[in-house]
Chain A
């Protein structure tokens, strides 16, 4: 297998409004492996996926996917590259006016000229892979949260992509649904050799399936390596995040004025 990384980020800077979300992030995502990107909420993990998918453009830096520099691609080339990518959105993002079957068939109908019976076979195969072949005639509104995500997963692998990105796949799932998703992500990676990028703040689940992980905070990567390396990482911030301590280098309190001032107890007020 090709040893070069599938995705390379070099010195990526991205600001939204006045907020600097990434300040010189460099990251390699290896081919055919599961990479977890973890970090506290609001650190722009989803933004990172959108940068990789070319939906957002960085202020500076390069993002290379499968040897192509994403921010500089023309519209057509970008859309062609995206056919090699699958993305599982947090909400599933199923098309609400189409049935489960038609949702999974959608990318096939748009990008291929396959005959109808072939599309049917592929769709049922993909639905079988996520265990929902029986749900093909349901509408998205009739599905539970976990099922929605599984259908969305079937849709993202319909075109047999090389890369699949999961945006918070475990958020808000019950333990069973979570277990199903963990199994699916692992199976898809091992059986299809997909390069998988997983964005999550669920530490135990993510570390249990990934081959490689990195932790993002304050616009920087504060720690990366295999799960074992991370568990033994010397940085206090990494340890605080992995163990979930409420206070530490990432403070419990949002930055505020001296407590005394807010309660009228500061020195100046006291005469």
Chain B
């Protein structure tokens, strides 16, 4: 009986811990995005982060996009040629990339490439007391260190996702049109008649904005909240990748249901 009561209490405590952690992360976000910095101070900081978070992620995005597009081209051709409708390959590739794979794969790659780096960097700054010393110098690290990284993530992910989709479509065209001989006119024509800008492209962009927001938030918060030891940083980095991936896949289902579901 006693054992059961203890188990229940422990379960309740861990539940409260999760809720408290959510609350902390919300306060953290509000603290970081609350103030509007002077443009002369904030802009160079944002620029630096855009470079390290966005530009440096471009290579992996382009290469992955190209391969995913080429695979889609090959697989799509094999399946569609059974029904004699290889011409629909452009439509299939474009819809898959623009609606789903572009935002989702970009967010997953971003969490692995930039998110983990953000967590480790901020965690190390915390461990080496850089954040504390900044606070003692009368500078709020939430605004100085965290805010530019958050904004850089929010801006970068939609851009990366758009680049991913475009490169993927190009890769699909390379395989479908150049190698497998689908007529180029019907490749583009089918694509254009079935992809709508307002519902497909824009919904993909909205998805990538949401994913970018969530991934960056998780990454930066995990770094800021980590236990300041080397083991703490390593577990925070792992959490960043795991939580981001789960959040992206879960949110993708919810967003898809809202955007494309018929209700």
Contacts and interface: CB of A to CB of B under 8 A. Distances in A.
Do A and B share a direct contact in the complex (Cβ within 8 angstroms)?
A: yes
A251 B155 CA distance: 59
A95 interface: yes
Contacts of A156: 137
A76 to B, nearest CB: 10
A257 B207 CA distance: 61
A6 interface: no
A165 to B, nearest CB: 8
A93 B133 contact: yes
Interface string A79-117: 110110111011101111000000000110011000000
Contact of B139 (A53, A85, A110): A110
B136 A82 contact: yes
Contact of B128 (A55, A96, A107): A96
A110 B144 CA distance: 10
Contacts of B139: 79, 107, 110
Contact of B138 (A94, A111, A152, A155): A111
Nearest to B135: A55
A85 B137 CA distance: 7
Interface of A: 50, 53, 55, 75, 79-80, 82-83, 85-87, 89-91, 93-96, 106-107, 110-111, 152, 155-156, 159
Contacts of B135: 53, 55, 82
Contact of B130 (A79, A90, A93, A159): A93
B140 interface: yes
Interface residues of B, number: 15
A91 B128 contact: yes
Nearest to A81: B138
B136 A53 contact: yes
B129 A89 contact: yes
B238 interface: no
A93 B132 contact: yes
B138 A82 contact: yes
Contacts of A80: 138
Contacts of B136: 53, 55, 82, 85-87
A93 B125 CA distance: 8
A79 B132 contact: no
Interface of B: 41, 125, 128-130, 132-140, 144
A105 to B, nearest CB: 12
A152 B132 CA distance: 13
A90 B130 CA distance: 11
A147 B83 CA distance: 74
A91 B228 CA distance: 13
A111 B130 CA distance: 18
A89 B135 CA distance: 12
Contacts of A155: 137
28 contacts: A55-B135, A55-B136, A75-B140, A79-B139, A80-B138, A82-B136, A82-B137, A82-B138, A85-B136, A86-B136, A87-B133, A89-B129, A89-B132, A89-B133, A91-B128, A93-B128, A93-B129, A93-B130, A93-B132, A95-B130, A95-B134, A96-B125, A96-B128, A106-B137, A107-B137, A110-B41, A110-B138, A110-B139
Given A50-B132, A107-B138, 9 more contacts: A82-B135, A82-B138, A83-B138, A85-B136, A86-B136, A89-B129, A91-B128, A95-B130, A106-B137
A161 to B, nearest CB: 10
A107 B136 CA distance: 10
Nearest 4 pairs of A and B residues by beta carbon: A93-B133, A93-B129, A82-B138, A87-B136
Contacts of A89: 129, 132-133
A155 B138 CA distance: 13
Contacts of A75: 140
Interface centre among B130, B135, B136 (most CB of A within 10 A): B136
A107 B128 CA distance: 18
Nearest to A88: B133
A96 to B, nearest CB: 7
Contacts of A95: 130, 134
Contacts of B132: 50, 55, 89, 93
B34 to A, nearest CB: 10
A237 B181 CA distance: 90
